[in-house]
Structure 1
Amino acid sequence: MSKRIKELDSIRGLAAITVVIGHFCLMLPSLPDSIKFSPLRFLWAGGEAVIIFYVLSGFVLSMAIYHSKTNYWGYLIKRFVRIYIPYYVWIFITFALFILFSPYEVTGLRDWYYDKWQGPITGLDIINHLVLLNNFFSDNYNPVIWSLAQEMRISIVFPLLFLLFYKQSWKKTILLAMSFSFISIFLNILHIGKAEGFYNGYADTLHFTSMFMVGMLLFKHQEELVRLYRNMKKLKRRLLITLGVILYLYSTGLLLISRSDTMFLLKDWGVVIGVSILIIMAMSNLKVKAILNKSVFVYLGEISYSIYLCHFPIMMVLFKLLYTKIPISLLFLLCVTTAILFSSVSYHFIEKNCIKWAKQRTIKFQKNV
């Protein structure tokens, strides 16, 4: 199946919006537990949304490699241009906004807000953000950067993982993926490759690689999984979807029991299973497919990377200028709409040109067949 699967684009777009809402909520005083752990959590489950991105990346990269006409270098050029160029544009915009607006003070927000945009920009900050692949403190200027570093590291080695494990049985692949997570925990306990920032460590890269491998399995077995889902009785399908939603939303509850690295692993794997179930449902359920294939959701998917890159600096500026001066509901609406507006501009003028340029420059890297 080589054609683009629009419902997966839509899922990515909706996940990006939940990251925006999640960051908005993290800035405000804490929500009551009755709301925080209600089904409404679906709207702001930003950490879970990042796992969606990783599983979908494994799926989409597997599709690209499986149908690719270019060699590894062509693949790498496309991946670097796709991730780095829009990222560079927005990180320098973020630096500029930081310089202009960090002196503005606002009170009454959560500590998470005040932990950001601290101190002057140093030469080392600039170098670290330009390289991106190294282990550095990535939380200050734009807290989504840690996930981009992981995405790029894994993208570099993913063709090798695909070559080695695509033809393996799903049981062996899952076992290997889980072993990556356990090795990651062990390395973190020993402080080997431990993160300087939020999950930005090399040891964490092993753990997140496991999610790409799950995405690879979903791509490989998509036809079987869709057929299996559609052949299930209605009650079993409903129970499966319910399980997927519960795992996606409430696996985080394991962290409330214990803050250990083992609970972190179990929480993420619970979310991965939930994400996988929801992806299978999205590809199989005709009513859900029809909703996700609506142009508004597909377009959100197309601009999702720009939403991810630009929403935080925009939100910081709007909070500094408007918090307490306008109603929270209006500030929220302004944050979301402004992020979407700038993302749309970024997508059409930056991302699309990057994709076009990369395609033109990788012709010479076509495989000899």
Structure 2
Amino acid sequence: MNAAPSVKKDDSISRIRELDSLRGIAALIVLVFHFSLLNPGFLAFTKFGVTGVDLFFIISGFVITMSLERIQSGYQFLVNRFSRLYPTYWTAVIFTFGIICINKLFLGFEPQHAIPTRDFLYNLTMFQYYFGVKDLDGPYWTMIIEMLFYLVMGYLFVTKSLKSAVAILIPLTLLGTILTEFHWFQPFSMAYFKNFPLAQSLPLFVSGILFYRLFAKERNFVLNIILIIGCYFLQILLFTKTGRANYYISHSEYKAVLTVYYGIFFLFVFGKLKFIVNPITLFLGRISFALYLIHQYFSIYFLIPNLMKWGVNYYIAAFLIALPVCILIAAGITFFIEKPSEKWLKRNLYRLMDAIIIKK
């Protein structure tokens, strides 16, 4: 019999240590990929890190499904997501905006451009995409995709359709693939992917849902595996016309990396991924959200370039200075802002929502 994935108690919520470790690894490979953009020769070895977000999306599909099965009401989901995401996200936006101001005002970086105060304010919503405002930092582009997935899953939960999530979402994944393969230049196709950016990665999220079903030992074991394989092929078909990885890796390279990610998840659900769990990956997993959000602009537009101007070797600037500094900042945000504010917000927002419901 296969050993079950290891679970431990953390803040009264069961956490799966393999997933925490995977988050940490995904954040690290994305960070290293962004660092290597400053060194084209090194990029040849790290370009596969551009797909780290694919791993994040599969994890999200798994975790959100698991979270929804452990709550009783829609407002719990809303409070949990808001408390988990926004304090860290707001801190990252404020941090990056501050670095941008320092670059523009004192270091002469892009002096022809004004301080992006308007962009800063819209970015605080996490929905700047729909306001037509550019992301203040590179990693933010994935947040609207995550938020749309949360909204879709939250809607399915409150309408008591969560058990039918796969049956509802699989046709949408098929639609996206059909549009990219046969009708890509049609106005409807362009509008569909522009107005619903989740479509470009939906097979990954659905795969996460299906992996959770395997993990939870739900019925239709063989069907779930077949559907996972189907989502894998659908995502491969979407690659050439959607997402950002196709700017850095070939289609065949993407197939290879995606195969590795799906293989990792199969190992996980069958209890064979414990070997990645160690204090380093668990620590990186705990700080992964903050690390993912704050590293790009700070590192590749501020810290590393300025260190190199002062004569510091690229590898020293990137991996002996920028990497530990980013980890230190992310740890500070996680343990002194994210964790305390999440607890405080949950406690007080639950009280507020309970009071509103009782009054009604």
The answer to whether the Cα contact below 8 Å between 2:304 and 2:318 also exists between their aligned partners in 1 is no
Q: How large is the Cα RMSD of the aligned pairs?
A: 3.9
Q: Indicate yes or no: 2:178 matched with 1:167.
A: no
Partner in structure 1 of residue 134 of structure 2: 138
Partner in structure 1 of residue 68 of structure 2: 65
Tell me, in whole angstroms, the C-alpha distance in 2 between the residues paired with 1:11 and 1:318: 27
Q: 1:188 to 1:96 in 2, by over 3 A?
A: farther
Partner in structure 1 of residue 270 of structure 2: 284
- Aligned pairs, how many? 317
Offset of residue 48 of structure 1 = 1.2
Offset of residue 215 of structure 1 = 0.9
The answer to whether the Cα contact below 8 Å between 1:181 and 1:210 also exists between their aligned partners in 2 is no
Partner in structure 2 of residue 237 of structure 1: none
Partner in structure 2 of residue 126 of structure 1: 120
Question: Which of the numbers 50, 55, 60 marks the counterpart of 2:58?
Answer: 55
Partner in structure 2 of residue 99 of structure 1: 101
* 3-state SS in 2 of match to 1:45: helix
TM-score (norm 2): 0.74
Q: Indicate yes or no: 2:28 matched with 1:17.
A: yes
Partner in structure 2 of residue 314 of structure 1: 298
TM-score (norm 1): 0.72
Partner in structure 2 of residue 7 of structure 1: 18
Tell me, in whole angstroms, the C-alpha distance in 2 between the residues paired with 1:213 and 1:5: 19
Partner in structure 2 of residue 86 of structure 1: 88
Q: 1:269 to 1:202 in 2, by over 3 A?
A: farther
Tell me, in whole angstroms, the C-alpha distance in 1 between the residues paired with 2:121 and 2:346: 28
Offset of residue 72 of structure 1 = 0.9
Partner in structure 2 of residue 338 of structure 1: 325
Offset of residue 308 of structure 1 = 0.6
Residue identity over aligned pairs, in percent, reads 21
* 3-state SS in 2 of match to 1:131: coil
Tell me, in whole angstroms, the C-alpha distance in 2 between the residues paired with 1:118 and 1:223: 55
Partner in structure 1 of residue 205 of structure 2: 212
* Structure 1 unaligned blocks of 5 or more: 107-115, 230-242
Tell me, in whole angstroms, the C-alpha distance in 2 between the residues paired with 1:328 and 1:317: 13
Offset of residue 211 of structure 1 = 2.3
* 3-state SS in 2 of match to 1:138: coil
Q: Give structure 1 regions of 4+ aligned residues with deviation exceeding 6 angstroms.
A: none
* 3-state SS in 2 of match to 1:3: strand
The answer to whether the Cα contact below 8 Å between 2:25 and 2:285 also exists between their aligned partners in 1 is yes
Tell me, in whole angstroms, the C-alpha distance in 2 between the residues paired with 1:150 and 1:188: 22
Q: Indicate yes or no: 2:78 matched with 1:76.
A: yes
Q: Indicate yes or no: 2:177 matched with 1:182.
A: yes
Offset of residue 330 of structure 1 = 0.6
The answer to whether the Cα contact below 8 Å between 1:20 and 1:311 also exists between their aligned partners in 2 is yes
* 3-state SS in 2 of match to 1:75: helix
The answer to whether the Cα contact below 8 Å between 1:12 and 1:53 also exists between their aligned partners in 2 is yes
Partner in structure 1 of residue 280 of structure 2: 296
Tell me, in whole angstroms, the C-alpha distance in 1 between the residues paired with 2:112 and 2:198: 26
Partner in structure 2 of residue 156 of structure 1: 151
